Amino acid sequence: MHFKKSDLLQALPKQFFASLVSKVADIAAEGHDVINLGQGNPDQPTPAHIVKKLQSAAENPINHKYSPFRGTKELKEAACEYYQLEFGVKLDPNKEVAILFGGKAGLVELPQCLLNPGDTVLVPDPGYPDYWSGVSLAKARMETMPLKEENDFLPDYGGISRQAIEQAKLMFLNYPNNPTGAVATEAFFKETVELATKESICVVHDFAYGTIGFDGKKPLSFLQTEGAKDIGIEIYTLSKTYNMAGWRIAFAVGNESVVEAIELLQDHLYVSLFPAVQEAAVEALLSSQRCAQELAEMYESRRNIFIGGLQSIGWDVKAPAGSFFAWLKVPEGYTSEEFSDYLLNHAHVAVAPGKGFGKYGEGYVRAGLLTTEDRLMEAVRRIRALRLFG
C-alpha cells in the first residue's frame, strides 16, 4: 500500500542541488577525478580539544539521560560569555538564548513560530534555499529582496515595494553572505534596525560565517547595532567556526519574545541535544579561539590563491570579503546552469549554479573554498585549458 504525502510536504520547494549532487556522482562514476567546489561542507576536522571533551563527556553516565528541556544552563551561559567577549554584546542566558539543533533547524522553525498563513516574509535573493522551506511550512508568502553587485550585494530597501514592506512580518538576512561572500556594514545594519522598528518587522540574521572575514576585517554581529535586540535575533552555528557541521549544534540569541517562541515550538518537537555535545560546545566557545582564527586565515589564503589564479587566466571575478564561498560571474553566452554543466563535463570541476539560490543568482556560479590550495590551483589549470577567457 502506498500512502500519499500530505499537501504540506508536496508544497515544499524542490531541492535544486540534489540534481548537482547526482551529476557529480555520475561523472565520478565514469572514473573522472572531480574537483567538487559545489558543496558547502567544511573539509577540515573538528579541533582535537573539542573532540576530547566530547569523548570524556560521553563517558559520564549522567549524560546518558534525557537532557534538560531547552538545553543546559552551562551552554546558554557560554553563548552569552562568547558574545560578550567577541562582539561586546550583553545577553541574558535565561531569556535571550535558545539552543538549536543546528542553524538550519532554527531558520526553518522561525516562520512557524511567528507567522500565520498568508503572512509576508522578506527573503534575500540570491540566498540560502532553506529560508524558502521555512516559509513554505508556515504557509506564508515570500517577497524577495534582490542582492545586486552594484549595491555590494546588500538589499536596497528603497527598491522594495511599499506594499511588501508594510505587510512584512519577518525578514531574513545573512552576512557574511552565502552565496555572494559579501559582508554587511554598520550603516546597513543601522538602516535595517530603523526600518524594522518603524514597520514592526522581526529581523532574523543568519550569522553562520561570523568568524570568517578577510583583509583584517572582522564580520559584524547584527546585535552590535543599537536597538537590534528590540526587533530581532541572530542565529549562530558552531558548524563553520569550529568545523562542527555534523554535530548539529547552534543557538539563537536576541529578542526575548522570539527566543521564547522558538523554545515553545522545540518543547513539542524535541527534548534537547545530547548533553555531551552541549559540553563540547561549551569547550569550543570558552577555550582559546586560536583554532577559529587559523581557520579563517586558511580560507583567506585559499581565496587569494583561487581568485588570483582565475584573474590570471582572464576571468573577471572579484574576491569575497567573507564566508568560504566565491561568487563568480558567468561568461557571456551561458546561463548559470549551462556553465556549471560545461565546467563539470569538460574540466571535471563542480560549481553550484547561481540559479539555485534565486532569480538574481542567475549569471553567477558559487565555488566553495573547501579543498586544498593544490586542488584549487588544479581547478584553475583545468579551466584555463578550456580557453574560455582568451
Could you tell me whether strands 141-146 and 232-237 are parallel, antiparallel, or unpaired per DSSP bridges?
A: unpaired
| CA 227 to each of CA 158, 199, 204: distance values in angstroms, whole numbers, following the listed order | 21, 14, 14
Which of 17-26, 111-120, 204-213 bottoms out in mean pLDDT, i.e. has the lowest? 17-26
User: Which of 9-18, 105-114, 246-255, 317-326 has the lowest average pLDDT?
Assistant: 9-18
Give the type of residue at 170. L
259: Cβ contacts below 8 Å, ≥ 6 apart: 95, 96, 97, 98, 233, 252, 253
Residue 131: the pLDDT is 94
Global pTM?
0.96
Question: According to the model, what pLDDT value does residue 15 have?
Answer: 77
pLDDT of residue 323: 97
Interval 9-59: pLDDT, tens? 898 888 777 778 889 999 999 999 999 999 888 999 999 999 999 999 999
Mean pLDDT of 311-338: 96
pLDDT in tens, 209-238: 999 999 999 999 999 999 999 999 999 999
Q: What is the dihedral sign for C-alpha 194, 197, 198, 202?
A: positive
Domains along the chain with CATH numbers: 7-45+291-385 (3.90.1150.10), 48-286 (3.40.640.10)
Task: Give the tens place of pLDDT for each residue, 77-90.
Answer: 999 999 999 999 99
Whether residue 277 has pLDDT greater than 80: yes
Average pLDDT over residues 274-290: 97
Looking at every residue in the chain, the average pLDDT score rounds to 96
**Sole residue written with cell 526600518:** 195
